[in-house]
Amino acid sequence: MKKLLCAAGLGIALAASAGAQAADKIAVVNVSSIFQQLPQRATVAKQLETEFKSRATELQGMERDLQTKMQRLQRDGSTMKASERSRMEKQVMAERETFSTKAQAFEQDNRRRQMEERNKLLSRIQDAVQKVADSEGYDVVIDSNAVAYSAKSKDITADVLKQVK
């Protein structure tokens, strides 16, 4: 019985070591570094800035106008007729609400578009990682930010960056 347990243990150890040897082609890649170095990133940022410039300018104008009216109300409110002050307060509150709604919609649209463009770039990086891994025969590629240590010879960041550009 003792020999059977020893043989079973030896078999399990051999199977585990064979499994570990099968996946020893592991590489690391620094995806965030590649993302930061992409020339397309600057192009996308300028494109988004252009896309949202008119809305941003409109919001800035609304904000300046609203601040001017609020300052006027504070400065001249005590000398105004009650009906005029009331009308101006209602107008300021309505404009503040409109501004807030437009600003919130602007932020949501801007954030959504930035995420869309970011995901497109990350998808291109992922495709490049896959091509490099396939061409060099790696079984597993791990983001270097998730690894405590790796040998430099297995870092494929530069190869992936060349592939993406």
What is the H or E stretch that residue 28 is in? strand 26-29
DSSP SS3 for 80: coil
DSSP SS3 for 76: helix
Report how far residue 33's alpha carbon sits from residue 141's, in angstroms, rounded to the nearest whole number: 15
Report how far residue 9's alpha carbon sits from residue 158's, in angstroms, rounded to the nearest whole number: 43
**The predicted structure's pLDDT at residue 57:** 95
Q: pLDDT of 105-142, one tens digit each?
A: 999 999 999 999 999 999 999 999 999 999 989 898 88
Report how far residue 54's alpha carbon sits from residue 48's, in angstroms, rounded to the nearest whole number: 11
User: pLDDT 10s digit of each residue in the chain, 165 long?
Assistant: 455 444 444 445 444 454 545 557 888 999 999 999 998 888 999 999 999 999 999 999 999 999 999 898 888 878 888 888 889 889 999 999 999 999 999 999 999 999 999 999 999 999 999 999 999 898 988 888 887 887 766 888 888 888 887
The burial class, CB within 10 Å (0-12 / 13-18 / 19+), for 128 is buried
All structural domains of the chain, each given as residue ranges with its CATH number in brackets, are 26-163 (3.30.910.20)
